[in-house]
Amino acid sequence: MVKRSRITIVQPAYKCPYCPKRFYNYLDLFKHVRYRHGRFVITDFQYRILLACRKLTANGREWFTFNDVYDEFTQMFRDVNRSRLRDKVKWNLHSLARKGLLEMRREHDTLLFRVV
C-alpha cells in the first residue's frame, strides 16, 4: 500500500535587491550579495543599531561605548523585546564592525565604536 503525500511548493522568500534572483533562506541571500555584488546585507535590527550610532555621532560623540549605544537604542525604540536585549545589541555591534560599517578600538578595558 502506497501512501500519497501532498506536495507543497514553497516560494523563495528572500529577493536580491540588486538582481532578480530569489532565495529560500537568509544565509544564501547574504552569501550571494556579498560575493556576487560585493555588498553587505544587514538585518532590520542591525539597521536600528546603526541609526542609534548615527544619532550619537550627530550629537557630537565621535567614539562611544556599548552602554551609550544601548541607552540610545532603548530611548529610540520602545517596541523591542527586552529579553536578552543587551546581548543582541553587543553581538550586532560586533557584526557591524566586522562588516566595516563601524570602527572598533580598545582603550584600556573598554571597547569603543564609531561610525565609518
pLDDT in tens, 67-108: 999 999 999 988 777 788 999 999 999 999 998 899 999 998
Which contacts qualify for 63-67: CB closer than 8 Å, 24 or more apart?
Answer: 63/105, 63/112, 63/113, 63/114, 64/112, 64/113, 64/114, 65/110, 65/111, 65/112, 65/113, 66/90, 66/93, 66/111, 66/113
Q: How many residues can be counted in the chain?
A: 116
Instruction: Extract the C-alpha cell encoding 48.
Output: 536600528
The CATH code of the domain that includes 68 is: 1.10.10.10
Q: What's the pTM value of the predicted model, to 2 decimals?
A: 0.76
What is the domain range of residue 37?
11-41
Task: Pick the closest to residue 115 from 106, 107, 70, 99 (CA basis).
Answer: 99
Verify that 97 and 54 share a domain, yes or no: yes
How many Cβ atoms from other residues are within 10 Å of residue 50's Cβ?
18
Asked if residue 6 is part of any domain, the answer here is no
Residue 5 in this model has a pLDDT that exceeds 80: no
Residue 49 in this model has a pLDDT that exceeds 90: yes
Asked if residue 107 is part of any domain, the answer here is yes
Residue 4 in this model has a pLDDT that exceeds 70: no
Distance CA 116, CA 66 (A): 16
Task: Pick the closest to residue 19 from 38, 43, 45 (CA basis).
Answer: 38
Residue type present at position 52: A
Instruction: Extract the C-alpha cell encoding 89.
Output: 545589541
Asked if residue 72 is part of any domain, the answer here is yes
Q: pLDDT digit string (tens) for 26-48?
A: 889 989 999 999 998 888 899 99
Count how many domains the chain has.
Answer: 2
